[in-house]
Amino acid sequence: MSLQLDENLVRSIVSEVVRNIRSATGAAPAASAAAVAPAAPPAPFIASGALSGPRHGVFQDVPAAAAAARKGFEQLRAKGVAARRQVVDIIKKLATANAETWGRFEFEETKIGRLEHKIAKLQIVPLVPGVEWLRPYALSGDHGLMHEEYTPFGVVAAILPVTHSVPTLSGNIINAIAAGNSILFNPHPGGARSAALAVRAYNEAIHAATGIENLVCTIEKPTLESFDALCKSPLVNLLVVTGGPGVVNAAMKSGKRAICAGPGNPPVLVDDTVCADKAAKDIIYGCGFDNNLLCIGEKQLFVLDRVANALVRSLEKAGAVRLLPAQTEKLAREAFTMKPDAAGCSHPVLNRELVGKDAAALAARAGLSIPPATPILIGETDPDHPFVLEEQMMPMLPIVRVKTVEEGIALAKKSEHGYKHSSIIHSLNVDRMTEMAREMDTTLFVKNGPSTTGLGLDGEGYLSYSIATTTGEGITNPQTFTRTRRCVLVDALKIY
């Protein structure tokens, strides 16, 4: 049986997935936590009886896991690039075949986001590039030949966010193994069972196809101590961190080389040159996707005053529910607690209980009863409101009116905090697009579409759930997980 995935087939599957979500979403999407039936028994791909053990890659402690991952790396190295290709195809195939079961399992475990988007995030895993991405760089001249190869680090240790445990895990595996590494995960404790479920299934299939054991490993009960042990392990060669500011800071201080996919707070700016209905639909899709858990999702909206009323009407027409100022403030008091920071200044702290919850659940906190399928809430605020400045990861979009595009860009930039993550504009004016792109200086900049197009969903480009913003590698791909090594041949093999 050939597991090779055809590029055009993948694209058409992805477009189909996006179309299905959009038609299901439209003005009124998504199964809510309340509406979803209890989880089915997990994973058709758990074949054998043993739930953990060396072959399955699920470990209790870091030293054993790191030693197994090192052996996995050595076995992969011995089997060569053909085995890497096989593994990449296995991950893509299993992620899509198990999308429904694993998506549901993760939804039940984490209790955040939207079920159909959990499933969709796995169905599109084939968009992550594989071995074909790596092309050596070569030069020839009067002195002979030089070529540079993209070679593996060895064991990659990866930290997962709770917002997309198995999707990030699957994308990281493809990137790391296409580049010739093995990989060992310290998942978020809230998504660790989902990670272990996928790791067991992946390892079983990899072992059956290639004979390699423990190419993918995970810590069953991850803790801050296991993170620390990974950072200190001499067997770990590279860290890949996907998460918020705390873990990024910890990784950067660890002394180990780290690729950091850090936090974002993406603003979206709408001017007076676009169709309000189209912009509204795009914004709702991006902001509402998985209840705004994506780090690239539209988190705050700046709109030119003269078109603000029209845009709000379009947002409401497309399914958003508008909160009155008093309701917005009531929800804000539930969503944030004011606490003193190190300097003694009062600072809003996010209430994690509301992260990734349905718009209807948030509306209830604001004293409002709305249909469970409502995609997002909207509410007008000032530019210094916590909903604007904090990365709140909720389907609640604060709207700020601005007098000029320049003011909008300046406020958008302030709200992004220099994370250099993502920003979005809806405008047909090329000068404004250019000005915002230059000012924001973000890793992703999307023009006239939902933020999700930035990851290849109905936009051009490839997928990764780890966008290395803090350390600057960008949307991670197999090359991100390589060391560049040069070979030189002096004076020989000059055939011209």
* Positions in the binding site for ligand NAD (CB under 6 A): 159-163, 187-189, 224, 227, 242-244, 246-247, 250, 261-264, 295, 391, 465-467, 469
Closer of 152 and 161 to ligand NAD (Cβ): 161
Minimum distance of ligand NAD from residue 227's CB (angstroms): 4
Rounded distance, CA 175 to CA 1, Å?
A: 23
Minimum distance of ligand NAD from residue 126's CB (angstroms): 19
Closer of 203 and 292 to ligand NAD (Cβ): 292
Closer of 115 and 251 to ligand NAD (Cβ): 251
Closer of 45 and 227 to ligand NAD (Cβ): 227
* CA 157 from centroid of its chain's CA atoms: 17
User: DSSP H helical segments within 211-324, as ranges?
Assistant: 224-232, 245-253, 276-288, 305-317
Do 360 and 377 form a contact (C-beta atoms < 8 A)?
no
Minimum distance of ligand NAD from residue 305's CB (angstroms): 30
User: DSSP H helical segments within 351-458, as ranges?
Assistant: 359-365, 386-389, 405-416, 430-440
**Secondary structure class of 157 (helix, strand, coil):** strand
Closer of 33 and 230 to ligand NAD (Cβ): 230
Minimum distance of ligand NAD from residue 487's CB (angstroms): 33
Minimum distance of ligand NAD from residue 472's CB (angstroms): 12
Do 261 and 240 form a contact (C-beta atoms < 8 A)?
yes
Minimum distance of ligand NAD from residue 373's CB (angstroms): 25
**Neighbouring residues of 105: CB distance < 8 A, sequence distance ≥ 6:** 39, 42, 43, 193, 194, 197
Minimum distance of ligand NAD from residue 128's CB (angstroms): 13
Rounded distance, CA 119 to CA 122, Å?
A: 5
Closer of 32 and 292 to ligand NAD (Cβ): 292
Residue 150, token pair as written in the block: 């993209």
Residue nearest to ligand NAD (CB): 243
Q: Nearest Cα to 199, choosing from 180, 179, 219?
A: 219
Strand ranges, E, within 252-376: 258-261, 267-270, 300-304, 321-322, 336-340, 346-350
Closer of 211 and 461 to ligand NAD (Cβ): 461
Q: What is the DSSP string of 429-480?
A: -HHHHHHHHHHH--SEEEESS-GGGGGTSSSSS---S-EE-SSS-EE--GGG
